[in-house]
C-alpha cells in the first residue's frame, strides 16, 4: 500500500471513529455542534496531510506510523493507549452531555471554540513545517539535529501545546463543559509523555541539554 493511501485510509478511519463516538452516544444526527466540530477537525487534518504528501513525504510516513503498537518502550505504549482512550472519552462524554442536557454553552462560544480548534491545528502545522523529524513515536534518527527555531524558540514541545489547545477547545465546541474532565486525563497523559520524551532526547540527541537551558518552558510560555 502506498503512503498516500495509508494516510487517506487512516484519515477515513479516524473520521468514522470520531463520528461513532459523537453520534451514537448522542442518539441522534441532529447535533449541529458535532457536525461543525468534525468539519473543523477533519478539514484541518486533511489540509495538513495534503501539504505533507506534497512537501515532506518522509514526515508523513513518520506520522502515519503511530499508535501504541508503534512505540518501542512499554511505558510509552501504555501512555499512548491511555491518551487514545482519553481522546475518545472527551467525545463520548461531550456527546452524552448533549443528549442529557447537562451543559449550556452559548452558540457564539461553541463556534469560537471551533476556531480555536483550527488554530491548534495551525500551531501543529507550523511545527511540522519547522521540524521534519516530528515522528508520532519517540525516537531519534541518525542525522537528526536539535531544532530551536520557529515555535521551538518559544516552548520545547510546541506540537503538544497545539494539541492541548485544540483539545481544551473540544468540549465547548461540542456544547459541553463535562468533557473537560476527560481532557484533564488526556493532558496528564501528554505531560507524562513529554517528560519521558525529554529524558530520552537528553540521552540520545546531541545538543538537547543545551537547548533545554536556552528554552525554559515546556508547554506554556512564562508558566511551565
Instruction: Examine residue 209 and state whether it is found in any structural domain, yes or no.
Output: no
Using alpha carbons, select from 154, 130, 160, 165 the residue that is nearest to residue 223.
Answer: 154
Per the prediction, the chain carries an average pLDDT of 91
Instruction: Examine residue 210 and state whether it is found in any structural domain, yes or no.
Output: no
Residue 76 has pLDDT above 90, yes or no: no
Instruction: Examine residue 155 and state whether it is found in any structural domain, yes or no.
Output: yes
pLDDT for 71 equals: 65
Residue 68 has pLDDT above 70, yes or no: no
Instruction: Examine residue 145 and state whether it is found in any structural domain, yes or no.
Output: yes
Total domains, the chain: 1
pLDDT digits over 32-60, tens only?
A: 999 999 999 999 999 999 999 999 888 88
Confidence label for 132 from pLDDT (cuts 50, 70 and 90):
confident
Instruction: Examine residue 127 and state whether it is found in any structural domain, yes or no.
Output: yes
Instruction: Examine residue 219 and state whether it is found in any structural domain, yes or no.
Output: no
pTM reported for the whole predicted model: 0.91
Q: Which domain holds residue 178?
A: 3-203
Greater model confidence, 136 or 185: 185
pLDDT digits over 148-197, tens only?
A: 899 999 999 999 999 999 999 999 999 999 999 999 999 999 999 899 88
Amino acid at each position: 500500500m502506498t503512503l498516500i493511501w495509508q494516510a487517506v485510509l487512516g484519515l477515513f478511519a479516524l473520521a468514522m471513529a470520531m463520528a461513532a463516538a459523537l453520534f451514537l452516544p448522542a442518539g441522534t444526527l441532529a447535533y449541529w455542534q458535532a457536525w461543525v466540530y468534525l468539519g473543523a477537525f477533519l478539514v484541518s487534518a486533511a489540509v495538513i496531510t495534503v501539504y505533507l504528501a506534497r512537501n515532506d513525504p518522509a514526515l508523513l510516513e513518520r506520522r502515519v506510523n503511530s499508535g501504541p503498537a508503534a512505540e518501542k518502550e512499554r511505558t510509552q505504549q501504555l501512555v499512548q493507549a491511555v491518551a487514545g482512550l482519553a481522546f475518545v472519552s472527551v467525545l463520548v462524554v461531550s456527546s452524552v452531555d448533549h443528549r442529557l442536557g447537562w451543559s449550556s454553552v452559548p452558540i457564539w462560544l461553541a463556534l469560537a471554540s471551533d476556531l480555536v480548534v483550527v488554530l491548534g491545528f495551525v500551531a501543529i502545522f507550523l511545527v511540522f513545517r519547522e521540524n521534519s523529524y516530528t515522528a508520532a513515536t519517540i525516537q531519534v534518527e541518525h542525522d537528526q539535529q536539535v531544532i530551536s527555531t520557529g515555535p521551538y524558540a518559544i516552548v520545547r514541545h510546541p506540537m503538544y501545546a497545539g494539541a492541548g489547545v485544540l483539545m481544551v477547545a473540544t468540549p465547548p465546541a461540542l456544547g459541553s463543559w463535562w468533557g473537560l474532565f476527560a481532557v484533564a486525563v488526556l493532558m496528564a497523559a501528554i505531560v507524562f509523555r513529554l517528560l519521558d520524551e525529554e529524558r530520552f532526547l537528553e540521552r540520545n540527541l546531541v545538543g538537547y541539554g543545551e537547548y533545554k537551558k536556552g528554552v525554559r518552558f515546556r508547554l506554556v510560555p512564562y508558566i511551565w
